[in-house]
Homo-oligomer: A and B are copies of this chain.
Amino acid sequence: MTKKLARGVAVVGVGMSKFGAFPDKTSRDLFVEAYQELKTSVQKGFNPNDIEAFYMGNFSSDQFERQGHLAPIVASWIGLSPIASVRIEDACASGGVALRQAVLGIASGQYDVVLVGGLEKMTDLPGAQVTDALASAADTMFEIPAGFTFPGFYAAMATAYMNEHNGDLDALLKVGIKNHVNGALNEKAQFGQTIPDVMAGKVAKAIQKGLPVPEWKDEMDFLRDPKANPMIAWPLRLFDCSPVSDGGAAVLLVAEDLVAKYTDQPIFVIGTGQASDGSLPERASLSHVPSAVGAGEQAYAMAGKTPAEIDFAEVHDCFTIAEIMATEDLGFFKPGEGWKAAMDGKTARDGEKPINTSGGLKAKGHPVGASGVAQVVEVWKQLHGTAGARQLPGTPRIGLTHNVGGTGQTSVVHIFERRF
C-alpha cells in the first residue's frame, strides 16, 4: 500500500558537530555546534522565530548523562522555547525516526518549519557501562539472556550471512578500509585516518619507543593481525566495529509551499518508510534485516524510484557486516552479492553505488541518536556538490539514508532528491 504525504517537505539547512570524544562538553554544547552550522547553511537566511517544533532523536541521555526530557531542555538552551519539543527514541534509529516524525508533522498541516536534532553523549561513562547501556537497546527478555552484547549479535548475523552465501570474511575488512578512506576526507569524522595512516602511526610509535617495528605487507595483512586488530566477537574484529562517540546533528525542514523563502536549492524528501520487527530468535534467517527491506520498499514506493535510480546512500554500518546486509536489504545488490560488491569496490566513491561517502558510522563515528540525522547532512552535501575532497563526481541527484535500531527491531529509510 503506497501512501502519499498530504504536503511535500524539503530540507533547507543542515549542520553537525565534530564527532568524537569530548570530555569537556555536554550534549547541549554539542547540539549548539550543530545548530550554529545549520544557521549558516540556509541559503536565503535563517530566522529562529520561524521554527514551530523540535524533534530530537536521542537513544538514552537518561543512562549516559542522567538527563531525561532532553528535547525541551535543549530547545530552551538554544533559545527555542516555547515550541513543541519531542524526544524520539528507537535505539540507534532514533535520529532517522525523528526525521520521519518531523516530515509527518509538516505534512499534517500542524507545522510549516521544523528543526530535527540528533544527539548523544556517550563517552562520560566507563566503557563497560556504555556496553550495558547499549545492551538495553536489545530485548532484555529474549536477546540479552543469551549472554550477548551488540558485537555478539552482529557477529551471529555475520556468521549466518557468510555461511548462507559462502562469503569471504575479507569482505568485512574491505568495508572498513573503504569507510576509513572516506572518513579521512571528512573533517567532522571521529577517525580522520585511512588504514595506512593508522599503520604508519603504529610504526612511528614503535620507533619512538624503541620497540620492534611491526611489518605488515599491506592493509589486509594489518587487519588480519590479531595484535593490531583484535577479535571482538568472531568474525568481527576491532576495525569492524563503530566507535563509542559524542556528537550532534541538525536538519531544518520546511513545507514545500514555503521553500522559496529559504532557498533556491532545495533537497526534497521524496520517500519515507519505517518498519519494526521482533527479536533475533524470532527470525527465520539472520542473514538479512526484514525491517530494513520493508522500510526500503515503503520509501521506494512513495518516491516512485527503484534501487537502481539511487545515486548513493548512507547506510547504518554499526558493524561492517551491517553495511553489506544493508546494500542487499535496500535492493542495490541481490542477496548474496553484497559481500562481492564490497570486495570488488562497487561501493567505493568511484564505484557503481557509492556507500557511506561520509565514512559511515565506522569512521565518522556513531553517537547513536545523532547518526540518522548526520546521514542527512552527508546527503545534503553530496547533492549540493559541497562535499569537498570526498565529493562524488557529476553532482548526484538522488540520495538515500538507512538507519537501524537494535538488532533490526526498527529500520527507517528516507530518499532525497535535488530539485535545482
Shortest beta-carbon distance, A177 to chain B, in Å? Answer: 31
> Which residue among A76, A81, A82, A278 has the maximum number of chain B CB atoms within 10 Å of its CB?
A82
Instruction: Let me know if A69 and B82 touch, CB within 8 A.
Output: no
Task: Name A26's closest neighbour in chain B (CB-CB).
Answer: B141
Q: What chain B residues lie within 8 Å of A59 (beta carbons)? A: 68
**Any B CB within 8 A of the CB of A383:** no
The interface bits of chain A over 75-104 (1 if a CB of B lies within 8 angstroms of the residue's CB, else 0) are 110001111111111110000010011011
Kindly identify, within residues 1 to 40 of chain A, every residue whose CB is under 8 Å from any CB belonging to chain B: 3-7, 26, 28
Shortest beta-carbon distance, A115 to chain B, in Å? Answer: 12
Task: Name A28's closest neighbour in chain B (CB-CB).
Answer: B141
Instruction: Let me know if B73 and A101 touch, CB within 8 A.
Output: no
Kindly identify, within residues 249 to 293 of chain A, every residue whose CB is under 8 Å from any CB belonging to chain B: 272, 274-279, 282, 290-291
A86 to B90, CA, bound (A): 6
Instruction: Let me know if B105 and A62 touch, CB within 8 A.
Output: no
- Within 8 Å by CB of A76, from B89, B105, B276, lies B276
Kindly identify, within residues 102 to 138 of chain A, every residue whose CB is under 8 Å from any CB belonging to chain B: 103-111, 132-133, 135-138
Instruction: Let me know if B82 and A90 touch, CB within 8 A.
Output: no
Knowing A65-B140, A88-B87, A276-B82 touch, does A104 contact B110 (C-beta < 8 A)?
A: yes
Q: What chain B residues lie within 8 Å of A135 (beta carbons)? A: 66
Instruction: Let me know if B81 and A277 touch, CB within 8 A.
Output: yes
- Within 8 Å by CB of A90, from B71, B104, B111, lies B71
Give 7 new A-B contacts, CB below 8 A, not counting A66-B132, A82-B290. Answer: A6-B6, A60-B62, A68-B89, A69-B138, A69-B405, A83-B275, A104-B105
- Within 8 Å by CB of A68, from B69, B86, B104, B136, lies B136
Task: Name A134's closest neighbour in chain B (CB-CB).
Answer: B68
**Any B CB within 8 A of the CB of A311:** no
Task: Name A97's closest neighbour in chain B (CB-CB).
Answer: B86
**Any B CB within 8 A of the CB of A41:** no
A389 to B106, CA, bound (A): 43
Instruction: Let me know if B104 and A108 touch, CB within 8 A.
Output: yes
**Any B CB within 8 A of the CB of A242:** no
- Interface residues of A, CB < 8 Å — how many? 70
Task: Name A71's closest neighbour in chain B (CB-CB).
Answer: B90
Q: List 14 A-B contacts (CB under 8 A).
A: A3-B111, A5-B110, A60-B68, A63-B63, A66-B136, A69-B405, A71-B276, A72-B406, A81-B277, A82-B275, A82-B276, A83-B275, A83-B276, A85-B90
Q: What chain B residues lie within 8 Å of A87 (beta carbons)? A: 88-90
**Any B CB within 8 A of the CB of A139:** yes
Q: What chain B residues lie within 8 Å of A111 (beta carbons)? A: 3
Instruction: Let me know if B90 and A88 touch, CB within 8 A.
Output: no
A100 to B55, CA, bound (A): 13
Instruction: Let me know if A89 and B89 touch, CB within 8 A.
Output: yes
**Any B CB within 8 A of the CB of A409:** yes
A75 to B274, CA, bound (A): 14
A97 to B86, CA, bound (A): 7
Instruction: Let me know if A278 and B81 touch, CB within 8 A.
Output: yes
**Any B CB within 8 A of the CB of A359:** no
Q: What chain B residues lie within 8 Å of A82 (beta carbons)? A: 275-277, 290-291, 294
Shortest beta-carbon distance, A99 to chain B, in Å? Answer: 12
Q: What chain B residues lie within 8 Å of A410 (beta carbons)? A: 69, 71-72, 85
- Within 8 Å by CB of A137, from B3, B4, B68, B276, lies B68
**Any B CB within 8 A of the CB of A67:** yes
Q: What chain B residues lie within 8 Å of A85 (beta carbons)? A: 90, 276, 409-410
- Within 8 Å by CB of A84, from B91, B138, B274, B278, lies B274
